[in-house]
């Protein structure tokens, strides 16, 4: 498909009017300058590519976004980044936000209200609910990092909060709700969300799913359902549900508002606790001893018959255990008992000879 020397592609966008028109944001090589670095456009479905935004040999483009009303309006974020053996250059004066109104033919910086210092990775999100509103999460020097918002298609920006992801070079990605202009999700070690246009962020809630979030899909028909690419965990109404054998279900809204929970389809082990099993074995031994004493028989056949007749019956709590699990538990107990006897004999031999183990 081309762009073999890019090494890192930050984002790909397909023109909704023509699937042959594709934009690729190429971050470029991490350990070397140059390469296929910048924003590229293809008009033949990826067969050939043309560089339409090039900043420098050390600065690539990490994101590109459309205005959904007019795909000729594009927004791109440039990220100055290079790694050496002795250091990481994670930002600089070339990190910026660019805007084009002619399908990428020409570009200009939009920086009114954005930090004037060196910047690192910048994540963008155009609100589908109101495309005039654009969010940017900016890593910047001198404590200027934070979430910025534009309400005039990127021409001017206002800082909304100091929130930034825990490691901007790995995260700093935003996803806007398709219906609520003030709701935006932030990729982070712990997934975050704002419901007031970026003023405050809080954790979504993912106690039972793995952390480390890097992508998210929101169902445009049902915005309360989304999928986080961390572990493909279903997220409903801002509450993450477990993955694996769990399925998201809902319950009636409580007095504190709508809540969502999850009900696991996995079954809990019904194996009886070790103490309960031990007590059952001891009771069986006592019954066998009492039976042998009452009959006055000590022959092997009688003892075996008594053992079979007095063997403890598995209750409903242990009936679901397989024979293999039962044998494994019994064998482990026997091995522990044998090891204890060997240690005791070794201790007695050492005591009799006056040596230490």
Q: Tell me the C-alpha distance between 292 and 309, whole Å.
A: 12
Q: Indicate if 155 and 282 belong to the same structural domain.
A: no
CB contact at 8 A, 61 and 25: yes
Q: Indicate if 254 and 271 belong to the same structural domain.
A: no
pLDDT tens per residue, range 71-83: 999 999 999 999 9
Q: Indicate if 28 and 90 belong to the same structural domain.
A: yes
CB contact at 8 A, 236 and 248: yes
Of 155-164, 185-194, 311-320, give the lowest mean pLDDT range.
Answer: 311-320
Q: Indicate if 298 and 330 belong to the same structural domain.
A: no
What's the domain range around 120? 9-264
Residue 231 belongs to a domain = yes
Task: Residue 150: give its domain's CATH number.
Answer: 2.120.10.30
Q: Indicate if 40 and 119 belong to the same structural domain.
A: yes
pLDDT above 90 covers what percent of the chain?
59
Q: Indicate if 220 and 334 belong to the same structural domain.
A: no
Residue 46 belongs to a domain = yes
pTM score = 0.66
Q: Indicate if 36 and 106 belong to the same structural domain.
A: yes
User: Long-range contact list for 205-210, CB < 8 A, 24+ apart?
Assistant: 205/238, 205/239, 205/240, 206/230, 206/233, 206/240, 208/240, 208/241, 208/242, 208/243, 208/246, 208/262, 209/233, 209/240, 209/241, 209/242, 209/243, 210/243
Q: Indicate if 71 and 190 belong to the same structural domain.
A: yes
Output the DSSP codes for 49-102. Answer: -EEEE--BTTEEEEEEEEETTEEEEEEEEEEEEEE-SS-EEE-BTT-EEEEESS
How many structural domains does the chain have? 3
For residue 333, the SS3 value is: helix
Q: Indicate if 194 and 313 belong to the same structural domain.
A: no
pLDDT-derived band at 283, boundaries 50, 70, 90: confident
Residue 75 belongs to a domain = yes
Q: Tell me the C-alpha distance between 326 and 334, whole Å.
A: 12
Residue 330 belongs to a domain = yes
- Among candidate residues 234, 264, 294, the one where a domain is terminated: 264
pLDDT at 88 over 90: yes
């Amino acid at each position: 498909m081309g762009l073999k020397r890019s090494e890192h592609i930050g984002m790909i966008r397909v023109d909704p009017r023509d699937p042959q028109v594709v934009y690729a944001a190429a971050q470029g090589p991490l350990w070397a300058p140059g390469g296929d670095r910048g924003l590229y456009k293809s008009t033949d479905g990826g067969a050939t590519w043309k560089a339409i935004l090039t900043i420098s040999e050390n600065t690539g483009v990490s994101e590109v976004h459309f205005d959904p009303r007019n795909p000729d309006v594009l927004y791109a974020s440039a990220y100055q980044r290079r790694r050496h053996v002795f250091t990481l250059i994670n930002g600089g004066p070339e990190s910026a936000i660019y805007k084009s109104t002619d399908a990428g033919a020409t570009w200009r910086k939009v920086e009114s209200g954005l930090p004037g210092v060196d910047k690192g990775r910048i994540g963008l999100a155009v609100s589908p609910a109101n495309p005039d509103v654009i969010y940017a999460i900016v890593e910047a020097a001198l404590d200027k990092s934070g979430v910025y918002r534009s309400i005039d298609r990127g021409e001017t920006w206002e800082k909304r909060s100091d929130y930034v992801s825990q490691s901007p070079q790995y995260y700093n990605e935003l996803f806007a709700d398709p219906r609520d202009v003030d709701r935006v999700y932030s990729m982070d070690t712990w997934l975050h969300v704002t419901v007031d246009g970026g003023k405050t962020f809080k954790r979504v809630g993912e106690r039972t799913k793995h952390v480390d979030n890097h992508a998210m899909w929101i169902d445009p028909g049902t915005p309360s359902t989304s999928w986080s690419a961390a572990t493909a965990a279903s997220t409903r109404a801002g509450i993450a549900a477990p993955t694996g054998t769990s399925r998201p279900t809902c319950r009636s809204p409580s007095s504190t508002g709508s809540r969502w929970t999850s009900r696991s389809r996995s079954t809990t082990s019904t194996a009886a606790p070790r103490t309960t099993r031990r007590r059952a074995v001891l009771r069986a031994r006592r019954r066998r001893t009492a039976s042998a004493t009452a009959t006055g028989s000590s022959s092997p056949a009688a003892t075996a018959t008594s053992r079979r007749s007095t063997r403890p019956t598995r209750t409903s709590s242990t009936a679901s255990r397989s024979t293999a699990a039962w044998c494994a538990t019994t064998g482990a107990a026997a091995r522990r008992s044998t090891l204890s006897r060997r240690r005791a004999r070794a201790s007695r031999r050492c005591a009799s000879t006056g040596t230490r183990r």
